[in-house]
Amino acid sequence: MSSEPSASSAFLPLCADSNPFAEQGNWYKGNLHVHTTVSDGEHSPQATVDLYAQAGYDFLAISDHERLTDPEELDGRGMALLPAVEFGGGRASLGQVYHLLAVGMRGPAQPLDAGSSQEAVDQARAQAELVFIAHPYWCSLTPDDLTAVEGYDGIEVYNATCERGIGRGHSEPHWDCALNRGWLLTGIAVDDAHFHYWDALGGWIHVKAPHLDRRVLLDAIKRGWFYASSGPEIKNIAFDGDLVRVQCSPAASVALVVPSPGRGWTTDRLRDGGERPLMTEAELPLAAAREGIFRIEVADERGRRAWSNPYRLQ
Amino acid sequence: MDHPWSLPGEWLKGALHVHTTESDGKRTPSEAVEAYAEHGYDLVAFTDHGKVTDAAGVDGGGLLLMSGAEIGAGQTEFGTRYHIVGVGLTGPLPEDLDTSCAQATVDRLKALGAVVMIAHPYWTHTTPGDLLGLSGYDGIEVFNAGCEWETRHGDASQHWDWLIAGGRPVLGFAVDDSHWGFADFAGGWVMVRAADRSAEAILAALRSGSFYSSAGPRIEELVVEEDGLRLRCTPVAAVHLISPAPGRGWTSHQRCKRPTCEAELTELELPLPPAGQTFRLECVDAGGRKAWTNPMTLGDPDVQ
């Protein structure tokens, strides 16, 4: 476990003094990855905005391929709209391109013209506040492909269309391996909806911010003050001596996930062979992390999850 | 294409990774067998740490018992030992077993006639380099229930795909790794299609991939037809056709055009994967529990 600052981005692990659950503000729900008729999506940009607004989302980033769909030309229906683009560029180990989700675009998209994968990341980062490597499992990226480049903010730990399209939406092993190598990455859940089949409202993030504003949201996401979900809600993560206390929507299990061999703890250790009631509170021993990086994961009875960003407590 | 559902024989439910009081398990071999008998198992393999627990001295009460061992050997990128499980050992471990080298351990266990698997790749945090750097093993533990419940690192489906994408379509075994400190059993198992109930037939079936793995669903039938795959199973929420190639594959969710069409599937037609492309199937039930087929390849790409 590297204790050096991340080679990857400005994100520093969360801790007791930088814990979004302990901060003042509100939780805002949003999706950072969706396509429209501007690229290969089924619905127009405004129809897409309308769908998410009706579903109760607070913010949305339309992220068409290689082209900026300008939020200024849309009615947000009360949501904050973040300018975003999904770029393809670089070459990973199987010869495939990286998909880079650039959120907080500063202007129109300049397609990546990169000689190397690192240049692709650099070019995306030069155009946007935030860069995430999209759907690692769908792309058949290995952890080596994630740690072959640096200067990005995180990965899509869950991508709903990839799960519902080809069964490869989860990228926890990629995340953990990168964390283990010292790449301090955040994890977002997204839809990446195209609407060719039902692939919307399946992955999102909840951001803690003082108010709903594009600039404020981007800053909070940059700091990792959010958690990702495909279903469960995390209501609180609080530190109390040797314990971390988690409050959540009804969960089948809550885990303190440690990205290093043999470590970690889950409430499934309390199994006694009988039916277990769902829980809305759990206490997890911090000793399982042994002062290293850890993250909190909540699973509901359908196997849907919520993922905190990485923490480190001294 | 041969696959377990096309072969004659019977289905046997097996626990291939079980600890007892002979190492760090909390139940004796007999107590472990009793627990598995209650859950409808046909087969239990004892795999204590660093030693062969002799199954011949244990009353199986109708279950077939096999001997094996789990051995720590070599070193992975993140500084831990590979855990290597060998099932089907008939005598004690050789005194000169070289555990400083993982490859030597794999090779020796294979030479002793064992079915050899890399245990819990996610729990050990083996990287693609770790897994591809060893060869000659039969497969990996694609699911380890004890690891899932202990640390949330039990599902190694992605690690498997790193191997398959790397040209190494090894087998995938679901196991318990039961230690009995909590109810860490009956969470992952293999369904073996064996010619008969002998240890020889079971080991031959395991070696040849004539089995599937499960943490819940039962796959009752798989038929390869000219225009698709036909699958019958206990009720599941989705069936995935997993391809190692970027962006390739299919799931039953693709047929769902509305948010409210969550279906319970027991019969399904899947599109035929391209000839020569390795794929595997996953059935996922409403609780997120999976069943995994072994990697399959249709046809001969050279003939197409």
User: A282: domain CATH number?
Assistant: 2.60.40
Same domain, A295 and A193: no
The verdict on residue B298 lying in a domain is no
Task: Label residue A9 by pLDDT band (50, 70, 90).
Answer: low
| Predicted TM-score (pTM) of this structure | 0.96
A282 touches chain B (CB under 8 A): no
Note whether A167 contacts B129, CB cutoff 8 Å. Answer: no
Chain B residues 115-144 with a CB less than 8 Å from chain A: 122-125, 127-129
Same domain, B26 and B162: yes
Same domain, A84 and A188: yes
CATH of the domain at A203: 3.20.20.140
Same domain, B160 and B240: no
The verdict on residue A96 lying in a domain is yes
The verdict on residue B184 lying in a domain is yes
Dihedral angle sign, alpha carbons of residues A153, A158, A159, A162? positive
Same domain, A268 and A127: no
Distance from CA of B87 to the nearest CA of A (A): 22
Same domain, A191 and A119: yes
Domain membership of residue B63 as a residue range: 4-213
CA dihedral A249, A254, A257, A262 (to 10 degrees): -170
pLDDT reading at B141 higher than 70: yes
> In chain A, what percentage of residues exceed pLDDT 90?
92
Same domain, A160 and A297: no
pLDDT digits (tens, 9 = 90+) for B181-236: 999 999 999 999 999 999 999 999 999 999 999 999 999 999 999 999 999 999 99
What is the reported pLDDT for B262?
Answer: 66
B253 touches chain A (CB under 8 A): yes
pLDDT digits (tens, 9 = 90+) for A133-159: 999 999 999 999 999 999 999 999 999
Same domain, B251 and B137: no
Q: Is B300 left (phi over 0), alpha (psi -120 to 50) or beta?
A: beta
CA distances from A33 to A83, A120, A199 (A): 11, 19, 11
> Where among A228, A247, A278 does a domain terminate?
A228
Distance from CA of A167 to the nearest CA of B (A): 5
Domain membership of residue A294 as a residue range: 234-312
What is the reported pLDDT for A56?
Answer: 98
Same domain, B72 and B91: yes
What is the spatial distance between Cα A28 and Cα A101, in angstroms, rounded to a whole number?
A: 20
Same domain, B248 and B199: no
Report the number of distinct structural domains present in chain A: 2
What is the spatial distance between Cα B175 and Cα B190, in angstroms, rounded to a whole number?
A: 7
pLDDT digits (tens, 9 = 90+) for A94-124: 999 999 999 999 999 999 998 899 999 999 9
Note whether B254 contacts A165, CB cutoff 8 Å. Answer: yes
Distance from CA of A24 to the nearest CA of B (A): 31
pLDDT reading at A40 higher than 50: yes
Give chain A positions within 8 Å (CB) of B153. 176, 257, 264
> Where among A196, A228, A260 does a domain terminate?
A228
pLDDT reading at B301 higher than 70: no
pLDDT digits (tens, 9 = 90+) for A168-211: 999 999 999 999 999 999 999 999 999 999 999 999 999 999 99
Instruction: List the single residue in B with minimal CA-CA distance to A138.
Output: B247
Contact B205, B173 (CB under 8 A): no
The verdict on residue B300 lying in a domain is no
pLDDT digits (tens, 9 = 90+) for A74-100: 999 999 999 999 999 999 999 999 999
The verdict on residue A47 lying in a domain is yes
Q: Which amino acid, one-letter code, is at B169?
A: P
Q: Which of A1, A54, A140, A260 is best to mutate for the B interface (most B CBs within 10 A)?
A: A140
